[in-house]
Amino acid sequence: MTATADRLFQGADWDFPTLQRIHDACDEIARSELGLDVYPNQIEVITAEQILDAYSSVGMPLFYKHWSFGKHFAFQEASYRKGLTGLAYEVVINSSPCISYLMEENTATMQTLVIAHAAFGHNHFFKNNYLFRQWTDADGILDYLEFAKGYVAQCEERHGRQAVEHTLDAAHALMSHGIDRYPGKKKLDLRVEEKRAAQRRLHEESVFNDLWRTVPTGPAKSNAVLSVERRRTLLGLPQENILYFLEKSAPRLQPWQREILRIVRHIAQYFYPQSQTKVMNEGTATYVHYRIMNRLHEQGKISDGNFLEFLQSHTNVVFQPDFDDPRFSGFNPYALGFAMMLDIERIVTSPDDEDREWFREIAGSGDTMGVLRRVWANYRDESFITQFLSPRLMRRLRLFHLHDDPAETAGIRVDAIHDERGYRRVRRELARQYDVGFIDPNIEVVDVDLAGNRRLILRHTVVKGAQLNEVDAKRVLQHLADLWSYDVSLIEVDAADTILKEYVLSPGGLAAAA
């Protein structure tokens, strides 16, 4: 037995020097053995109530005010009080410094686990994964949120809470369609954004002259009818970022409304990578904490008892119920991600013939961490599964693919299972479940009837016969019409360009506060 003097802590109690020691020990392992590259860490100790607070504003420490966050809070609180849900072990924010929250009730072992998991695992992933590098600005996010909060509060003061709430409601409804999916524009720099907004307002105030309002508008300018093509190019159509389109082109929005759309859009964009990397992100963090905890135990810094406590919660986290288990609710990203990371480790260190055939580049290369770091940096869930889900893991998880065609009366067909014929198909289908291109409905702004009634035309390309839920679609389109201020229509077309359904909505009473 190693001397107890080496231990980071005894029993369950901890204090701030203990946290510091834990962090330093993890840091040592993370850098020297795992070769992780992380943002500076900031660890915040908070109470259970505060973690509920954090939940309700999508985990961010500061956020603008909106009733929907209050609703989420009330919901979370109720189910927490009833004991339906436990609290998350960790909340971690993709920012620099990387902020992770520790709950004060946790034992020392749990704090170690959370520090290893969040402050090193997630942190490394945030800093290195290409999606995060491309789409998020870790240095600027906290300042930007601060600005957003202040800006929204200011708008409420100037334009009334009601109007701001309507605008935010509408923007939230379209949030999932306020994302640029393809890079092309330069990376977001949120600090510059913030300055830009302030400058623009200043400029408007300095050039404001009420006289302009009284200048009579002349007869309409030349009626040259734009060709359809030209018009669409001018408006940048088709455009799938609906919020962006509205911000730039909606005819009757107030400047502050455009700014609010922009804020919501930026925040949606900030979270975009997270939705695409759930499996990888959690897999990375879980793998990292697993390695670090094991190493700490080997070094005698954690007692056997504490290590067992860790193993117990670790096992709970990576538990994957089978499909026929009442607890089943889809794949557990922790379980799948962790299993795949371990599997890659196995392929790299002790491959069998099958692995050599399937993963020629990495099989037996021996450099586990090198391979994993490359994987973590360059893939998202969909491509990660497509590349690295091994036949052996498919066999272990006993994966199978179901094809449910409503037209088929006999039932649901088992399309592929974990056998020689099915590996590739199962893998492709699983990857597709994580492909945002398939998850979100494909809706684009295709045209605006500029010469006529200014109707905005959207188009939903129906994939595999899944149409929009009618009630929700109408509500969202109502919000859209209110922002656009004129009629909005949405057509649903299938691959053969037949129109399946058409919605037309007119702006309601609130309109764009003229």
Partner 1 sequence: MAIHIVDRRLNPGSKSLENRQRFLRRAKALVQGAVKKSSQDRDIKDVLEGGEVSIPLDGMDEPRFRREGGTRDMVWPGNKKFVEGDMLPRPSQRGGKGTGPGEGDSEDAFRFVLSRDEFVDLFLDDLELPDLAKRKLAEAESEGIHRAGYATSGSPANISISRTVSRALARRVALRRPRPEAIAELEAEAAAADCDEARRAELMAEIEALKAKARRIPFIDPIDIRYRRFEATPKPVAQAVMFCLMDVSGSMSEHMKNLAKRFYMLLYVFLKRRYRHVEIVFIRHTDRAEEVDEETFFHGPASGGTLVSSALQAMHDIIRSRFRPADWNIYAAEASDGDNISSDSAVTGQLLTDMILPVCQFFAYLEVGEAANYTFDMPDSSLWTLYKRLRAEGAPLSMRKVSERSEIFPVFHDLFQRRGKRERAAP
- How many CB atoms are closer than 10 A to CB 438? 15
Instruction: To the nearest 10°, report the CA torsion of 298, 301, 304, 309.
Output: -110
401 part of the interface to partner 1, by CB under 8 A:
yes
CB of 15 to partner 1, least distance (A): 10
DSSP-derived pairing of the beta strands 98-103 and 41-46:
parallel
Q: Is 360 helix (H, G, I), strand (E, B) or coil?
A: coil
Closer CB to partner 1, 252 or 432, in the complex: 432
130 Rama sector, left if φ>0, alpha if ψ -120 to 50, beta otherwise: alpha
Alpha carbon distances (Å) from 54 to 77, 92, 93, 172: 12, 10, 11, 19
CB 172 to partner 1: min, Å: 6
Query: Would you count residue 177 as binding partner 1 (CB under 8 A)?
Result: yes
Residues 30-59 that bind partner 1 (CB under 8 A): 31, 40-47, 49-50, 52-53, 56-57
Binding of partner 1 by 464 (CB under 8 A): yes
Can you tell me which of 404, 496, 497, 514 binds partner 1, judged by CB under 8 A?
A: 404
If the CB atoms of residues 179 and 363 are measured against partner 1, the closer one turns out to be: 179
- Find the binder of partner 1 among 421, 452, 509, 514 (CB under 8 A): 421
329 binds partner 1 (CB under 8 A): yes
**Smaller CB distance to partner 1: residue 329 or 453?**
329
On whether the CB atoms of residues 30 and 292 are closer than 8 A, the answer is yes
What would the x/- binding string for partner 1 be over residues 281 to 320, using CB under 8 A? Answer: ---------------------------------------x
For residue 343, which of 330, 377, 335 has the smallest C-alpha distance? Answer: 335
- For partner 1, the closer of residues 75 and 226 by Cβ is 75
For residues 58-97, which are near partner 1 according to CB under 8 A? Answer: 65-75, 77-79, 81, 85, 97
The angle subtended at Cα 322 by Cα 319 and Cα 323, nearest 5°, is: 135
Looking at residue 46, the DSSP 8-state letter turns out to be E
Q: Tell whether residue 410 is a contact of partner 1 (CB under 8 A).
A: yes
Which residues, 195 to 254, sit near partner 1 by CB under 8 A?
none
Q: Rule CB under 8 A: say whether 181 interacts with partner 1.
A: no
| Stretch touching partner 1 by CB under 8 A, among 14-22, 86-94, 269-277, 302-310 | 14-22
Would you give the end-to-end CA distance of the chain in angstroms?
77
CA 108 to centroid of chain Cα atoms: 30
Q: Quote the tokens at residue 40.
A: 């500076």
